[in-house]
Amino acid sequence: MLFSGLLAFVAVEDDEDVGLVRAAPDLEVESAARLGSLWVAPSARGRGIGSRLVHTVVAWARSGGFDELLLDVSDDNEAAAALYDAIGFVRTGKTSAFPPPRECLSRHQRRLRL
């Protein structure tokens, strides 16, 4: 792999942070990268910022020689799920609860083959 460690990309408009995405090599699957978190400011949603940030991570993962990009998404986050669907992520069948203090929320894993 060409990359190791945590990577973060920030989207900025008019000198304000409007989005952030974090990624790193996956700790369990050697040939995979993991999109760890994605945030878009409420005032900036619906303008394609999330999509651009995810595509930046996809490009980073491809250039790093990873075979797939994994992520977990909350089962009730319909907007994020729709974004990941549009980009081509598919459910892997793996589900779990978030760690405390959000253990009442369930999530599922998605994969994008690179």
Q: Which CATH number fits domain 7-113: 3.40.630.30, 3.40.640.10, 3.40.50.2000, 3.30.470.30?
A: 3.40.630.30
List, for residues 24-64, the tens digit of each pLDDT value: 999 999 999 999 999 999 999 999 999 999 999 999 999 99
List, for residues 61-93, the tens digit of each pLDDT value: 999 999 999 999 999 999 999 999 999 999 999
How much of the chain, in percent, has pLDDT values that exceed 90?
Answer: 82
Rounded Cα distance, 72 and 94, in Å: 9
pLDDT at 47: 94
pLDDT at 74: 95
Which CA distances in Å does 35 have to 19, 20, 24, 43?
A: 14, 11, 7, 23
Six-digit token string for 48: 């394609």
